[in-house]
Structure 1
Amino acid sequence: MSEFEGSDYRELTLEDILRMFKKRMILFVSIVLAVVVVTGIYLIFATPIYEASVTIKVDPTSQSSVSDLFSSSLTGSSGSNISTEVELIKSRTNIEEIIEVLDLVDRIYSEETKNRLLAEGYSQKDLVTSLTRTISSMITVSPVKDTRIVRVSVQNRDPILARDIANTLADVYNTKLAELSKRDLTRKREFIEAQIPLLESDLNEATDRIKDFKEETGIYVLDKHADLLFQMLSSYDKQYNELMISAEEKKAEIETYQSMLDDFDSNDSKSIKALWVQTSESFSVNPVLTSLRQSLATLQVELASLEEQYPKTDPRVRSKITEISKTESLIEEQIQNEFITSGQGMTLNPAYQQIMTGVISSEAGFQILQASIQAVGLLRDQYQSELRSLPAKEQQLLDLERQIAVKESLYTLLLERLEEAKISEAAVVGNA
């Protein structure tokens, strides 16, 4: 039996629906009018939020084998990630630069408000810090899928301000890329520029000393044996100084990469920097690394001895060169393993990963240079010991001439390196 059998049930017709609307017409009209009025009031009195956006295309950067190793060991993935750019764009230093360029402290704070805050004990730096957080909350940075493009959006009630912040952020970011790329070149240039005047003064003093010595003693030239010692010592002195300058440049590179972490205002960047600095400092007491450096120095001394007797094509010379190359590779592997072991379990933002790749590469180069310096020092000491067999006056003359030769060679080298650093620094531009 049907559930509705015997009842008065029937379906609603269109006529029934219209009858209900007519019966409650006043209520329906009132609701519609109320909604229209409220919406109108909101549109009239509410302050609109405007959005300005800018797209930035960043050229891809090449990945080194060290980067691939580091990426696969620590993050489980390889290759560049656009989140590197996102992190850089939103960095605190960029926003502070925008505040300075657009003079936002005076533009956003009224004179009365600014004076009141300063009178209450707030400093200009406090105002900038507060404004940095405010502007950061306005900015949204999002990658465009499967591209090297990021979209930067700025929301604000002032459309002109939103536009200015978006455009300026793009410019500041491009400048930042150039600064990051040239920072180590700038440090090299500054280091060389600081050394040149000091070396020039030392060279003038050495020239005056040898002039006075020759006038007092009447000895103007070295005999054949002393001259041979002078030539060999000068050669090794030149190598030693070149290696020392290269080592200083590598140290500057390491410091530059470490300081880059300061550009990211996050707890992760601070903890990563502390960890990796501690790891770098441990290399001086690492027994494996110490043994490898000693082996490399010994091999280089042996190679120098062979090259004095045989041509470079000789199998014994080529075999020794191969041994040196293998030992250098072992040093690089040990450096990488130390960093990877120290950072086990850490998930690195790609921006940090690229920085640490630079640290590893520079640290490996520095360790190899230290071994080379040790080797050249040993070779130089061998000839240094022969000086004791010379008469005292000849020893003095040789030592004075050697000082001048070393300083002249170093002075020329620094001038060459300075020009190279200036050219390299000037050639770096932003790639956005």
Structure 2
Amino acid sequence: MPPTQYKTFKAKEDDLFKQLLQKYLPFWPLYLLLVILFLAAAYIYGKITIPVYEAYSSVVIKDESKGLNESEMLQDLNLFRGKKLVENEIEILRSHSFISDVVNNLGLYADVMEEKKVQKAPAYLTSPIKLRFKDPTRIKKVEKIPFTFNRDARSVTIGKDNFPINQWVTTKWGEISFIPNYKYNGDTVTRNLYFLLYPSQAVQASLMNRIKVVPASKLATVINISIKDQVPDRAEDILNELVKVYTEAEIEDKNQRAASTVAMVENRIRSVAGQLDSVENEIQRYRTNTGVIDISTQGRQYLENVGQYDQQLEQIKNQIAVLNEVEKFIVQKESTSSGIIPSAVGVNDPALNQMLDKLNNTQLQFEKLKRTTGENSPILVNLKEEIETLKPGILENIRNQKINLNITRNSIASTGNRYSAMLSTIPQKEKQLIEISRQQAIKNQLYAFLLEKREEAALSFTSTNKGDTRIIDKAYSSVQPVSPNKFLLYLAALVVALGAGIVWVSLKEGLNKKILFRSELEKLSPIPVEGEILYDSSKDPFIVRNEVGSRVSGQLKSLRNKLFFGANNKQVKKVIITSASRGEGKAYIGSNLAISLAMTNARVVLVDLDFYSHEISSLYELDSAKGMVEYLRGGASLGALLHTDKTTSGLSILPVGATNDGTAEWLMSGKLEGLIKELDASFDYIVIVGPAFSDDVNIQALSHIADASLFVIRQGVTSKADLTMLLYNGHMEALKNPGYVFNAVKGRGWGIRMFGNGYGYGNNPGK
């Protein structure tokens, strides 16, 4: 902001503050009186009002969305904890069902009161008993039930009826039980106690409005609970009971979910156990019918056996082939032929091998000796005979082994074929077994899962005796009462007192139908205010003459100087004075103007043209003297009608007339204009006091005979509506050189009186 604008703004701000101060400061006695009255009322209110305390409690909620992560183990053991949000838990805490439980558990529908000299007070701590209704929903409002308690007899007396405590008794208010108050300190002071009964629904609604449940912050999961009450202990009991009911409901909810889950798991386990038993029986029947124990192992064994049998068949085949070669060699060769007999490789017969070895050795000897010995040599003959002897035995051995090998081969081939056949059926059996085993595996898994969940449910069920809500602070009350707060009470009394005074002043002046301020005149029309005349408590009609040094006298002379001797003087010699209605001071202003002019050694005539009130004539005791009426009728000369004032030299008065039956219509006659011209020739100044517009609007037509017109506005008397109507109809504009005289201006206030524009009723500040 530029420095110049800032200074202008500060000047306006200071000026506004000054205006407000000067506007309301004059009424300081009113403010002082109101402050005293309101402070006294606040003091009495603080004394007779029962103080109210506030109790607080806080709990932490395990909110799923705000970072309270548990370990997996704790989560697994807490199967039945529902998902929570702080916002939801706030509404649950304030729910009708919880509040209803609190009201019924604490018996808040029945207040015990103690009647004291000035006031009644709650007897929550001083009453020896409390009330409980069996059916609180049927309670009707009862204002007062006086009772007494007999400590020795342990009974309650209501009227003429005695009721024992700790028993349900039937009364006209319902079925009631009187129970001892555990908070009662057991004193022996005699008190006037009585019960107040309220419908439980009304108490619940009131409690719901009084309890405040708010989160500690946007990111916290802590909930703050508070309530205001006249008894701190009762407030604490209400909050503790609310948290208790909430926690018990939470535990009950978890228990119900746990019990329901456990029952469901048990039922499912029984169902799955039956299905699993059926599948196992089916597997047993299948294995029994198909001879399958372990189809994979059996298939593998079958495959191994078939391979072994094929290997054995190849070995037997090889052995038979070897035996055939040996047999062929022995049969085809001559007895004396040479050659090595094939070896019986693969034939596991030691006797045959020995015989073949012996035969080979014998033939080798025979061949060797044959080259060196004659054919008829006994040795050769013996060797030949031995060879011939060995061959039949070898052939017989070979044939026998071939027979055995063929038998063995047939047996192995048959067994192998059987295993091969069984091996070909394994895929189908395996498929069927897999299908059955799959059902068994599914049932086994489900059964194992249910058993696991049953154990988890059993473990979790043992943890449902504790809720998820943790109490941070049990209910505690404020040490000092929160209401009434003496500082705020007195401050409010002070503010209200000052505000009431300001409102009274503003309404008194703002809603007033009369003109109070010069500024109002200036806003209504552009007609200038020629002068302000303060209110004179002496009500002296000749104050200019009798109180020369007074303030009002000075203001009247100032008006005279402005009208007749001002710097912009337009040779004003004749002035006509009028007003909106009677009683606004036309005669007072006219008389003092005429006297002040005469005091300047001028010749002045004061003309009374008010045919309705003839105030000037009465003021100078000329009610019965001849005057304007007689002149206008033509029955008297002007000289005979003028009366010289005996006190003020140079002042003459022309009264209305003795008959006083003239009408304002005469003001329109030419004789009046001739009279004024005649007076103008004889006097220096002419002051004319005419009728009010409320009596005759023709006064506006007369104003042309004067040089200026003064319209008298009396502060607090002239109606805004009357002046507005005259302005609206053009009557004020019809006056010649009109100007206002703000008459009888009173100072504002009761102590420091202000007169200035906006601050006082006029324009000139004074004391």
- Give TM-score scaled by structure 1 length: 0.37
Larger radius of gyration: 2
Query: In proportion to residue count, which structure has more helix?
Result: 1
Task: Give TM-score, length-normalised by structure 2.
Answer: 0.22
The structure where strand makes up a greater share of residues is: 2
